[in-house]
Amino acid sequence: MPIKRLLIANRGEIAVRIIRAARELGIHTIQAHSTADVDSLAVKLADEAIAIGPPQAAKSYLNIPAIIDAAKKTQADAVHPGYGFLAENAEFADACAVAGLVFVGPSANAIRMMGDKVAAREAAMRAGVPTVPGSDGRVDDLETARRVIAETGFPIMIKAAAGGGGRGIRIAANPEEFDRLVPQAKAEALAAFGDGGLYLEKVIERARHIEVQILGDGHRAIHCFERECSLQRRRQKVWEEAPSISLPEAVRRKLCASAVALAEAVHYSGAGTLEYLYDDASGDFYFIEMNTRIQVEHPVTEFITGVDLVREMLKIAGGEKLRLKQSDIFMRGHAIEVRINAEDPAQNFMPAPGTVTELRVPGGNGVRFDTLLYQGYTIPPFYDSLLGKLIVWDEDRPAAIARLIRALHELQIGGVKTTRSLHLALAADPAVASAQFHTRWLEGWLESNATKLAAE
């Protein structure tokens, strides 16, 4: 049955994004919010809103009983989890099903399988998708770990089996570091995800981070091409673009086909992203994990394909079969997204919440700004620092970078420090212009350009 009343169990710019897509489909929107978000843009835009708890996320946006109760009170028939918070929580998906609510996303079983990185790796291997050399499953003791390292060599990446966002990850360059870092990674994974399980992967030097956007209906899947997400700070993406200019066309076809094969193998429903490491020296690519939700960077894919991914999610969750065929998906031009955070690049990216005293949003052809801001809004200090995403499109990458620079100069957010200066500096850098970067490039660049950032 088509969705009629949708509860948005998230906040910020993604909540605004979901409200807009839902309204275009004639769906009544209900914004769940903490008491800290009572004045948020999402609350103002939704058809109705309901408080689910105090500012602390554990008592509101992560409170499954409170969200289910809110859905029942407002007579919602579906829940969209957005990204983060409970978006990849199988127990939440199960709770929605028990309550008779549609969960806008994949099944709980698919979330469990692909959310556990070891299980996802095993599923990828069964589907014939190449994986990074490493442990076949969880590593429970040092003897097993040393056997893996004997085959892969150092450096080795120690990774949490559950969760994501760069937490529970350590890189060991030698046996001494390995013995010291394993307990740290285990403790961090246990604290962050309630699961201290670890597995090992060989470090691919100077790797690129490539991800493939897929849509599925539980039976059939398609891809919407790939995104390049190699510009990262502390394993958090900073700048994303589509397509990746580093991929030869033959590799692109093979990589995207592997993503579809894996999505169909796990009967995936909704929007999802399969992440890979790509070694452009050898041309090899390796699956690393799947994100069973909409991604922060989904707008760049929407720009180059014309597909509204959130709207397709809602249609599929409402019972429609995937209407698009692979032959319907074409790629045109180049898109770039930069994350505008309430952080001070000159002070080691210290969070900088405050009140927005001025807001000038860039416009013009090929420019989009997805944001939670309005003039006079006070940014609460309880959540992540993402204020918005500036996305640009043009016919080719150099033109897209030029448009990005113009739009960044046009963007004005008064009253708070933001990462705008970082993106202006990156957009002017010759290495970025020629796409000569990898997943660890930005860390070194930041060290070399600290003075420049401080001066802006």
pLDDT of residue 166: 63
- The CA–CA distances, whole Å, from 263 to 28, 113, 230, 272 equal 30, 12, 23, 8
Annotated catalytic residue within 293, 368, 397, 403:
293
Q: What would the pLDDT profile of 209-243 be if each residue is shown by its tens digit?
A: 999 999 999 999 999 999 999 999 988 999 999 99
First to last CA, the chain: 53
Quickly count: other Cβ atoms within 10 Å of residue 343's Cβ: 22
Query: What's the burial of 360, exposed, middle or buried (CB within 10 Å: 0-12/13-18/19+)?
Result: exposed
Residue 285 φ/ψ, nearest 5 degrees: -130, 155
pLDDT at 455 (0 to 100)? 52
Q: What is the dihedral of CA 345, 351, 357, 359, to 10 degrees?
A: 60
Give me the pLDDT at residue 163, please: 63
Percentage of the chain surpassing pLDDT 70?
A: 98
What is the average pLDDT across 419-447? 96
Which residue, 303, 331, 294, 254, is CA-closest to 404?
Answer: 303
Whole-number pLDDT of residue 164: 62
What is the token pair recorded at 157? Answer: 């990446």
pLDDT higher for 376 or 151? 376
| C-alpha R_g of the chain | 21
Work out the angle at residue 38's Cα, subtended by the Cα atoms of residues 37 and 42, and round it to the nearest 5 degrees. Answer: 70
Rounded average pLDDT over 429-437: 96
Distances 313 to 3, 78, 190 between C-alpha atoms, Å: 11, 12, 32
Q: Element (H or E) spanning 32, and its range?
A: strand 28-34
Torsion angle in degrees (nearest 10) through CA of 16, 17, 23, 25: -160
Mean pLDDT of the chain: 94
- Among 97-101, 165-169, 286-290, 436-440, the minimum mean pLDDT is found in 165-169
Query: What stretch of H or E contains 233?
Result: strand 221-233
Domain 133-202 identical in fold to domain 208-455: no
Q: What are phi and psi of 180, to 5 degrees?
A: -80, -35
| Alpha carbon 100 to chain centroid, angstroms | 28
Is 293 known to be catalytic?
Answer: yes
Q: Options 1.10.150.20, 3.40.50.20, 3.10.580.10, 3.40.50.800; which CATH number does 5-104 get?
A: 3.40.50.20
pLDDT digits (tens, 9 = 90+) for 380-426: 999 999 999 999 999 999 999 999 999 999 999 999 999 999 999 99
DSSP string, 376-413: TPBPPTTS--EEEEEEEEESSHHHHHHHHHHHHHH-EE
How far out from the chain centre does Cα 119 lie?
20
Between strands 170-172 and 78-80, the pairing is unpaired
Listed by start position, the domains of the chain span 5-104, 133-202, 208-455
Amino acid residing at 67 = I
Nearest to 120 by CA among 291, 296, 278, 285: 291
In this prediction, residue 165 carries a pLDDT of 60
Task: Return the pLDDT at 146.
Answer: 85
Each residue's pLDDT tens digit, 21-39: 999 999 999 999 999 999 9
Range 133-202: architecture per CATH: 2-Layer Sandwich (3.30)
CATH number, domain 208-455:
3.30.470.20
Dist. CA 147–CA 278, nearest whole Å: 25
Q: What is the DSSP string of 175-232?
A: HHHHHHHHHHHHHHHHHHHS---EEEEE--TT-EEEEEEEEEESS-EEEEEEEEEEEE
Using the predicted structure, report yes or no on whether residue 454 has a pLDDT greater than 80: no
The 3-state DSSP class for residue 31 equals strand
Which region holds residue 394: left if phi is over 0, alpha if psi is between -120 and 50, else beta? Answer: beta
